[in-house]
A and B are shown apart, each in its own frame.
Chain A
């Protein structure tokens, strides 16, 4: 038996960079910025570094406080609703900003991103494929 999926977007990523990163635009109120985030299907949520939240004018620690387990321990982050744009898709999403400013990486995880998507990956060709989950 074979299965077939159709996607509306295809994008190449930089194979020389560690992990698989996408450009992400985050918007909060009238502020917007562009950064990069690594795709992490093993992550329950989307996580961004604290400095991005602060640049956007988000009172980071007023958000929903959650502890997350990681490969090496725990980290605390605060959740806020933002507009998240990547690969031509703009979502109103709930994402987290790390409490510690030592976190310098950003993650696109399930809640707030993958949850709404149909996602394909061909790492050999450095290509990802994307559609909304219910897009024909």
Chain B
């Protein structure tokens, strides 16, 4: 149900955008700004789960609303990260008596963020918040003794939330920015058990302002 609600919000947002695009056919109006950004950074899940740190790549396309001097912006982004965890245990039911595993938690994160930007000269700090859709794939393999255990995987989609905080510096046609964010989403894979995909991210990116 939660997925349906999120999808409806997105659709309504897109629809609203489309309607606005149609209505901007009149040149007199401030048409706002299109924001296109790419980020590269790291994800740090340790404060929230046994997952370790991972890279993070993110692309974002946004729209600075033609209101409030473009201080508000809506953006959608898509990120990908793959933190890992490993461990092991004993199990009398395996011949070797113990096992080890390697978990790679792949996360595709689709986000919708409402930013408030407050340019101060060449510097534009901003803050945002918005929902996230986590496309999760848990892949696990391992070994029992020396006997390998081939990969099994589990996928699911979870709704979460993200809250970025960053600061951009005008550089060229856009801003070079440094951003930190907080991500969180639950996960209930059998492979992972009931846990969450919470993480802190730190990324550096460049946002074109068109």
A complexed with B: no
